[in-house]
Amino acid sequence: MKSRIFLVLLLLLNGSLIGISQEANNEKLLETFHSISSNEILGFVEELSSEKYEGRLSGSPEYMDASRWCASKFEEWGIAPANKGSYFQYFPNEYSDVLELGEVVYTNKGQATKLKFPEEYLPGSNSDSGTLEAGLVYVGHGITAPELGYDDYKNVDVKGKIIILETGTPYTKNDPELARWTPYAYHRYKFRNAVKHGAAGMIYASKIANPNTVHLDGFIYAHVEPKIVEQIFIDAGKNYSTVKKQLKQMETPSFTFPANQTVKITAKTKYHPDAKACNVVGMIEGSDPNLKDEVIIVGGHLDGQGQMGDVMFPSALDNASGVADILAAAKAFAQLEVKPKRSILFILIGGEECGLYGSKQYTDQPLFPVEKTRMMINLDMVGNGTGFFLTGGKTYTDLYRHFELANNKWIHRSLQTNEVTKNYGRPRSDASNFENAGIPTFGLWTRNSVFPVYYHDPRDKTDVLTPEIMEDAAKLLFLGISGIANDETL
Ligand SMILES: [Zn+2]
């Protein structure tokens, strides 16, 4: 009888102890939540956008320096290396240094106009070095697809010429038909096809800094503002918008420009075919013996667009902002005395701008079994604006509700979501590699209708960021992931 009373007492006491410790945990969680500060996050972005990292071009020594700085933060906060004792997961990543801004000069009937950097042109990230002056040929999307009965090159001779090329494919609707066009959507395909047809160089009618291209010996190119292309059309007595409409209708309106219209491109680059880059991987082990084998991945790309001549692309919004938020959330998790039940892997991804190399490396050689990976959240461009968009919430409702709960209770920003839709086109974000690997994946970005977004442009500096939303994004990440990591009903 005595022993039974003792047992009841013990159970009661134990129960209230659990209650007390649960409350203490929640208090600690909120205290840590409130310690996430915009000031510190802005400091991370400023570090990553600073001159010493030269715009974090994946493959470059400066990118590797930035990756080591991030790893040093993980180490300082007690976040464990996640790759067999190392914070790094390496992969091959060829790249080119753009040593000079070079020049692009357009000549019409003897009148030369030098294009302005960065308003009218940007150097090609993977152009070969040299000077090329030649006549022009418009080749639309630059696609040769016999099985689709489509050839932009069928009526033109581009040998020794500078082609004018458009991005993308004429077919744009996201349905199974698009999958047939996808192999032709890659910049690398288009470049190789141009060289195969004998083109000497190119102006790309898409003015962004873009390392997601390929170095081909002797091939010189630059990115040019579409307005300049339009002027070249006008000078030839052609209508650019009519031609673009023809492209949409699957016609191939390629043509050769009059001989008195030429372009001269000068480029100076250094090609590094054998370079490598890395993902930075840090880990917080789960505290529950049964659930710690399950992993939640929090990721975002660390690389940027690099430097051209002495002009740096700080790549602050895209995507120092995402990395800074991940660092802030990681630091917060590291401060918790009682860690979440499931394990959390933080991955700062390399080679995104070069063609999603780092996320492919991870999903090809995952550090934790895919079937034990509960979810992934990818942060890309979370640095300015007023609200959040979190893709995938209508598909993964049991996971998403934790983000919704955190937002409704503590953050109070507009939060929108959607369903995961199958992408038949070219994958354009690290999230797609994780989703394709069978991992439920969310993509977080901030919605913005007020602040300027300088996409792949040297003006993507820290001064276009709003630190308050970065703080809220890190807080949303911290509370949402806490909720999921501790949810025993999943
Ligand atoms: Zn990005």
Please check the confidence at residue 9 and state whether its pLDDT lies above 70. no
CATH number, domain of 245, equals 3.50.30.30
Give the domain range for residue 143: 97-269
Q: What is the pLDDT at residue 22? A: 79
Peptide bond before 319: cis, by omega within 30 degrees of 0?
A: yes
Examine residue 15 and state whether it is found in any structural domain, yes or no. no
Residues 237 and 127 occupy one common structural domain: yes
One-letter amino acid of 273? P
Which residues are paired to 377 by β-bridges?
Answer: 298, 442
Examine residue 3 and state whether it is found in any structural domain, yes or no. no
**What separation in Å is there between the alpha carbon of 32 and the centre of ligand 1?**
28
**What separation in Å is there between the alpha carbon of 266 and the centre of ligand 1?**
28
CATH number, domain of 319, equals 3.40.630.10
CB 378 within 8 A of CB 318: no
CB 207 within 8 A of CB 171: no
Q: What is the DSSP letter of 409?
A: I
Q: How would you classify the pairing of strands 88-92 and 150-151?
A: unpaired
**What separation in Å is there between the alpha carbon of 303 and the centre of ligand 1?**
8
Q: What number of residues does the chain have? A: 490
Integer Cα distance of 171 and 183 in angstroms: 12
Question: 3 pLDDT band (50/70/90 cuts)?
Answer: low
Examine residue 7 and state whether it is found in any structural domain, yes or no. no
Taking only the tens place, the pLDDT of each residue in 259-300 is 999 999 999 999 999 999 999 999 999 999 999 999 999 999
**What separation in Å is there between the alpha carbon of 319 and the centre of ligand 1?**
5
**What separation in Å is there between the alpha carbon of 144 and the centre of ligand 1?**
29
Number of structural domains found in the chain: 2
**What separation in Å is there between the alpha carbon of 57 and the centre of ligand 1?**
12
Q: What is the pLDDT at residue 190? A: 97
Taking only the tens place, the pLDDT of each residue in 44-70 is 999 999 999 999 999 999 999 999 999
**What separation in Å is there between the alpha carbon of 318 and the centre of ligand 1?**
5
**What separation in Å is there between the alpha carbon of 358 and the centre of ligand 1?**
13
Integer Cα distance of 276 and 239 in angstroms: 45
Q: Say which residues have a Cβ less than 8 Å from residue 185's Cβ, sequence separation at least 6.
A: 168, 169, 425, 426
Residues 173 and 286 occupy one common structural domain: no
E strands, 141-238, are: 144-145, 150-151, 162-165, 201-204, 220-224
Taking only the tens place, the pLDDT of each residue in 95-128 is 999 999 999 999 999 999 999 999 999 999 999 9
Taking only the tens place, the pLDDT of each residue in 356-366 is 999 999 999 99
Integer Cα distance of 352 and 364 in angstroms: 15
**What separation in Å is there between the alpha carbon of 209 and the centre of ligand 1?**
12
Taking only the tens place, the pLDDT of each residue in 189-204 is 999 999 999 999 999 9
- In three-state secondary structure terms, 485 is helix
Residues 154 and 300 occupy one common structural domain: no
Integer Cα distance of 234 and 216 in angstroms: 31
Taking only the tens place, the pLDDT of each residue in 429-443 is 999 999 999 999 999
Question: What are the backbone dihedrals phi and psi of residue 347, each rounded to the nearest 5 degrees, phi first?
Answer: -130, 120
Q: What is the pLDDT at residue 1? A: 44
- In three-state secondary structure terms, 15 is helix
Integer Cα distance of 236 and 233 in angstroms: 5
Q: What is the CA radius of gyration of the chain?
A: 26
Residues 363 and 466 occupy one common structural domain: yes
Instruction: Give the domain-ending residue among 247, 269, 291.
Output: 269
Residues 417 and 452 occupy one common structural domain: yes
Burial class (CB in 10 A: 0-12, 13-18, 19+), 163: buried
Q: Is 195 left (phi over 0), alpha (psi -120 to 50) or beta?
A: alpha
Residues 218 and 334 occupy one common structural domain: no
More confident residue, 26 or 165: 165
Residues 196 and 287 occupy one common structural domain: no
Q: What is the pLDDT at residue 423? A: 86
**What separation in Å is there between the alpha carbon of 229 and the centre of ligand 1?**
27
Crossing angle, helix 61-77 and helix 38-48, to 10 degrees? 150
**What separation in Å is there between the alpha carbon of 322 and the centre of ligand 1?**
9
Examine residue 288 and state whether it is found in any structural domain, yes or no. yes
**What separation in Å is there between the alpha carbon of 427 and the centre of ligand 1?**
13
Examine residue 9 and state whether it is found in any structural domain, yes or no. no
Residues 279 and 260 occupy one common structural domain: no
Q: What is the pLDDT at residue 214? A: 95
**What separation in Å is there between the alpha carbon of 302 and the centre of ligand 1?**
9
**What separation in Å is there between the alpha carbon of 96 and the centre of ligand 1?**
19
Integer Cα distance of 321 and 1 in angstroms: 64
Integer Cα distance of 343 and 104 in angstroms: 52
Which residues are paired to 151 by β-bridges?
Answer: 144
**What separation in Å is there between the alpha carbon of 301 and the centre of ligand 1?**
7
**What separation in Å is there between the alpha carbon of 131 and the centre of ligand 1?**
31
Examine residue 19 and state whether it is found in any structural domain, yes or no. no
Residues 178 and 226 occupy one common structural domain: yes
> By C-alpha distance, which of 267, 222, 269 is closest to 131?
267
Q: Average pLDDT, stretch 251-262?
A: 97
Question: 4 pLDDT band (50/70/90 cuts)?
Answer: low
CB 317 within 8 A of CB 465: yes
Please check the confidence at residue 12 and state whether its pLDDT lies above 70. no
Examine residue 30 and state whether it is found in any structural domain, yes or no. no
**What separation in Å is there between the alpha carbon of 382 and the centre of ligand 1?**
10
Integer Cα distance of 267 and 265 in angstroms: 7
Please check the confidence at residue 11 and state whether its pLDDT lies above 60. no
Question: Terminal CA-to-CA distance of the chain, rounded, Å?
Answer: 41
Please give the share of the chain, as a percent, with pLDDT higher than 90. Answer: 90
Residues 212 and 283 occupy one common structural domain: no
Question: What are the backbone dihedrals phi and psi of residue 145, each rounded to the nearest 5 degrees, phi first?
Answer: -130, 85
Other beta carbons less than 10 A from residue 200's beta carbon: 21
Q: What is the pLDDT at residue 125? A: 97
Residues 48 and 103 occupy one common structural domain: no
**What separation in Å is there between the alpha carbon of 177 and the centre of ligand 1?**
27
Integer Cα distance of 196 and 217 in angstroms: 12
**What separation in Å is there between the alpha carbon of 432 and the centre of ligand 1?**
13
What is this structure's pTM?
Answer: 0.93
Residues 159 and 187 occupy one common structural domain: yes
**What separation in Å is there between the alpha carbon of 381 and the centre of ligand 1?**
6
Instruction: Give the domain-ending residue among 269, 297, 321.
Output: 269
**What separation in Å is there between the alpha carbon of 487 and the centre of ligand 1?**
30
**What separation in Å is there between the alpha carbon of 183 and the centre of ligand 1?**
22
More confident residue, 459 or 23: 459
**What separation in Å is there between the alpha carbon of 238 and the centre of ligand 1?**
36
Which residues are paired to 86 by β-bridges?
Answer: 83
At which residue do the structure tokens 């080749």 appear? 139
Q: Say which residues have a Cβ less than 8 Å from residue 191's Cβ, sequence separation at least 6.
A: 202, 213, 214, 216, 219, 221
Burial class (CB in 10 A: 0-12, 13-18, 19+), 142: buried
- In three-state secondary structure terms, 52 is helix
**What separation in Å is there between the alpha carbon of 422 and the centre of ligand 1?**
20
Helix-, strand-, coil-residue percentages of the chain, each rounded to 5: 35, 25, 40
- In three-state secondary structure terms, 341 is coil
Instruction: Give the domain-ending residue among 230, 251, 269.
Output: 269
Examine residue 333 and state whether it is found in any structural domain, yes or no. yes
